[in-house]
Structure 1
């Protein structure tokens, strides 16, 4: 009986800051840890700006601390453990949503807090979209000393195989694009053999165009109607997209 091949991620990312000229870093942050087959994305909660705090500083420090935790741990990556270690060492003001994803033993393992997340696409069709954690409309769970802790994280485990595609992102992506729209771009990109960072760029650009379209049918519009706070079109926001191809090692 032949041994299953080890899987690995080939990943790329693209970011479009909302205030790209006055605040080029935006409030989102992400990382790609190539040697440990792990990616992560975070979105600093913008309401901190009202207190004079750079809303992106927490997200950036959290992601940096995630990378440190991953690289300093010899054992297999445990996304919730990584979030916990990073949370404990993030000593700046603010709060952030976060999603950490790794692959191990032919499974995707993830820990997610808030409304960042991912979709898993197999053969051009999405088979899974991570659930969001919100207390009310536009009020996500968030990591922070004055907010939620890593114990709030949803822990997810989903089988994967070579040929699958993971698309992760902040709410700037998922508020402005439905899963089937992401699928269409992924399917075309796979057929054309584009690199993951090119795919991430194409998805982010589509999300951006929806975000500034007052007539677009978007997930945020549907959610607003369900919440009794109707609004039309997309939501202008920082947009970060990570695309990871799952391939045989």
Structure 2
């Protein structure tokens, strides 16, 4: 199999939290199939108390990422470089987590900052998952234009070989705070087994995360994390939920 024989086939689904004053929510994402690159961002909601649309930074960061991808020369399309270039051109108030992933030469290359992230599933099993970056409980690393904000150099980078048949799940913390990795894996396995396209799988996973987010009694990763931090949070975490699903297939 040559180094150009794999590609991603992608689909996405987004559920914004119920807030009439902010119907777009705080998440943003893109899918650039031409350059085999996908990304998600989650605007930090705390900005809303200062009268700032917390999603505006995330949306501009993702739009600038697409511009950087489209203008990248051959051999220079690396997620960490894209993230850095997008950050340098994002000048609205706010801050955001981000995860950008590209498929090149049969490898995933990833730059991830904060608590968005990805999973790599092979033959129904989760074989790799990104780790969370946070300064303290519920305070993730974030890109922004204030002196206290983190910088793209703080992003974790990954290079992971992939195979045909692999499934990538990329999401914001609205997914990973509300579903354990085993549950995501099982929902994906069941839906894929039914012959669903990536967008349908993304919708199904996002719906499960949403149901958990509004359930005050279900056990969730956010519940566990809050207990470890000495807090008491019962049930899911109401949040925007973005899910991108990518099938790795032969060209």
Aligning the two structures, in what range does the TM-score lie when normalised by the shorter sequence? Answer: over 0.9
Distance 1:97 1:4 in 2: 31
- Name 2:26's counterpart in structure 1: 27
- Name 1:65's counterpart in structure 2: 64
- TM-fit CA distance, 1:184: 0.8
Distance 1:227 1:34 in 2: 40
What is the number of residues matched between the two proteins? 248
- TM-fit CA distance, 1:108: 0.8
Distance 1:105 1:177 in 2: 31
CA offsets per residue over residues 46-74 of structure 1, 9 Å max, x none?
Answer: 01111110000000000000000000112
Distance 1:163 1:20 in 2: 38
1:181 equivalent in alignment to 2:183: yes
- TM-fit CA distance, 1:3: 3.8
Residues 74-223 of structure 1 aligned to structure 2 (within 5 Å): 74-76=73-75, 77-146=77-146, 147-223=149-225
Distance 2:227 2:21 in 1: 32
- TM-fit CA distance, 1:22: 3.5
Residues 1:222 and 1:174: Cα distance change in structure 2 (over 3 Å): same
**Which runs of 5 or more structure 1 residues have no equivalent in the other structure?**
none
CA RMSD of aligned residues (A): 1.1
Distance 1:202 1:95 in 2: 29
SS in 1 for 2:73: coil
- TM-fit CA distance, 1:21: 3.9
CA offsets per residue over residues 213-241 of structure 1, 9 Å max, x none?
Answer: 11111000000111111211100000010
Distance 1:99 1:188 in 2: 26
Distance 1:42 1:4 in 2: 29
Distance 1:182 1:22 in 2: 30
Do the aligned residues in 1 keep the contact of 2:28 with 2:58 (CA within 8 Å)?
yes
Distance 1:97 1:152 in 2: 11
Deviating beyond 3 angstroms after TM superposition, the runs of 4 or more aligned structure 1 residues are 2-5
**Which runs of 5 or more structure 2 residues have no equivalent in the other structure?**
none
1:238 equivalent in alignment to 2:237: no
CA offsets per residue over residues 125-157 of structure 1, 9 Å max, x none?
Answer: 101110010010000000012111101110111
CA offsets per residue over residues 8-44 of structure 1, 9 Å max, x none?
Answer: 0100100000025442210000000010111000000
Q: TM-score, normalised by structure 2?
A: 0.96
SS in 1 for 2:56: helix
